[in-house]
Structure formats: C-alpha cells, structure tokens
Amino acid sequence: MSLHQSSGRWRLGLALSLLTVLLWGILPIALTVTLQVLDVYTVIWFRFLASFLLLVMYLGIRGKLPKLEQLRSASGKLLAIATLFLGINYFLFMHGLALTSPANAEVLIQLSSLLLGFGGLVIFKERYRLSQWIGVSVMICGYLLFFREQLTNLITAHGTYILGSFLIALGSAAWAIYALAQKQLLQSLSSSSIMLIIYGGCALLFTPLARVKSLFILDGFHLGMLVFCALNTLIAYGAFAESLEHWEASRVSAVIALAPIVTLISVVVVSVIAPSLIAPEHFTFIAILGAGLVVTGSVAIALGKADELP
C-alpha cells in the first residue's frame, strides 16, 4: 500500500495548524462553562452531531458530498479505525479529566502530539534534521519546566489520580492513531469527506449515552457556549485534517503542541475579564521560561529548513 505524501505547500499547512492551535487552545474554556450545566457525553454527542449536519449542508450546497464510488475506493478499515479511535480519545480524556486535574491533563495530552510526530517519522518516512531534534529536546524541557508542579503531583499521587492520568495517556495514544489513520486516508478521500464520515460515526457512538432532553432547558448563554463548542469542533478538526494534506505529520504535531500554552494564556485573560467563569492561574518565572522554551522548540521543529521542502 502506497503512503500519503504531503503536497509541499508548507505555508498553508502552517497556517492551518496555527488555526487549529488557536481553536483547540480556547476550547477548554468554553467546555468548562458548558459542563456546568450538561454532562460530558451530551456535550460530546452534540459537538459531533452538529458538526456532521453543518458539514453535510456545506458540502451539499457546494455539490461536494462524497460519492459512493469514492467511499468504495477508500479503506473501510482505516475509516473505522479513525472514527473509533477519535471516539475513544474523547471518552478516555473526559473520564480521565474527572479523576485528575485540568493542568495535569494538559501535560499528559501532549503525548498525542509527540506520538503523532514520531508516527510520521516511522510510518510516513518523514525526517528530522539535527536542528529539529534539538527543537524536540528544547520543547520537552520546556514542558517539564512549565508543568513542574503538575508532574510532581503525578509522581507522588495515588489511587484515582493515577487512574485518571493513565486514562488520559491512553486517550493520547488513541488520538495519535486516529490522526495517522486520517493522514493515510487522504490518499483516496478529501479531508472534508473524511471528517464527514468521522463526525457521523462518532455521533452514532455517543447517541446511547447522550441526554437529549437536557438541551431544551439551557439558557441563552450556555446554549451559545455549546454551539461555539460544536463550531470549534467543525472548524478546528477541518483545519487539522487539511493541514495533514499539505504538511508532514511530524511538523503539524510540533505546532499543535502549542495548544496548552494558548489554553493557559486564555484562562488568565478570561479570569481577569470574567473571574466568575474561570478560576485564575498563577505562573512562576520557571513556568514562563518553560513556555518560552516550548514555543522555541516548536518553531524549530516546524520551520527547520522549510525552504528546502519539495
């Protein structure tokens, strides 16, 4: 089986990756507000269902709904893997988050970006230059500094905290499998067609767990947050899928690793503007230094020798 090759339009891949980072970075704030009134399964189900319906309308208007011949040419096994493992990622992450802390979850979920990057190197035969391997080391050191307290909690914790951390780590691996399967699917389907099938499949997976009646008692503010979460899912995953069409998975993963930094900066901003919505975060000098190293390492990986790309 031939492997998917990136188009080489790295600037477009970078722009789409940055859009994904921005949307994924602010999503936890909207989710935190939404989860004040809804259970996690209903939120997940609504996000997938709304994304599926909106994408059906968008592709239908443009006359780009996938045809039966296209679906037959795609690998049914890869489509099933991508759908199942994205659903598993959502399921495990939400359960793990309930047993641990948001900051700890932000540390462990970054395993997904690292696994995606290494998967690109191993499966798709992508290559890092020396400067990029140095970038990997700098980024890892930055995360160790930035999340030092959370890592200490993880090492010394017992019981449910460790279980929650284990579930999040498994969820990270599930997400990397989904992303690698999706990149290979780009060999036979467009990114929008792939996401259409995945959204619909995941919506079906979570339908038995959703409490649909709870949606009808939401006030305007929380309904708006829920709709934002759905639109965020549609646009962010669409941008991520398209970025894999134009850029190597190892480079996309490096940019996506910036998402937790965006999240925590957003938490600081929102906690100042609306302290009743989000509890404030307090950063030490070491944490700020770590954030700077993460950004530096990510840039080194993503843009190393970019002008020599085919």
> Is-contact 278 271, C-beta < 8 A?
yes
CA separation, residue 302 to residues 14, 135, 155, 251 (Å): 8, 9, 31, 5
Alpha carbon distances (Å) from 237 to 10, 20, 40, 254, 310: 18, 7, 19, 16, 25
Q: Average the pLDDT over 237-266 and give the result.
A: 79
Lowest mean pLDDT among 9-13, 165-169, 191-195, 230-234: 9-13
Segment among 91-95, 170-174, 251-255 with least mean pLDDT: 251-255
Question: Do 186 and 194 meet the contact criterion of CB atoms below 8 Å apart?
Answer: yes
pTM for this one? Answer: 0.77
Model confidence at 200, in pLDDT bands (50, 70, 90)? very high
Position 306 confidence tier, pLDDT thresholds 50, 70, 90: very low
Name the token pair of 49: 């269902």
pLDDT of residue 307: 38
Query: 111-163 pLDDT, tens per residue?
Result: 787 787 778 778 877 777 787 788 888 888 887 887 676 666 556 655 677 78
- Per-residue b or e along 17-51, where b marks 16 or more CB atoms closer than 10 Å to that residue's CB: bbbbbbbbbbbbbbbbbbbebbebbbbbbbbbbbb
pLDDT confidence band for 53 (50 / 70 / 90): very high
What is the residue whose two structure tokens read 């936890």?
28
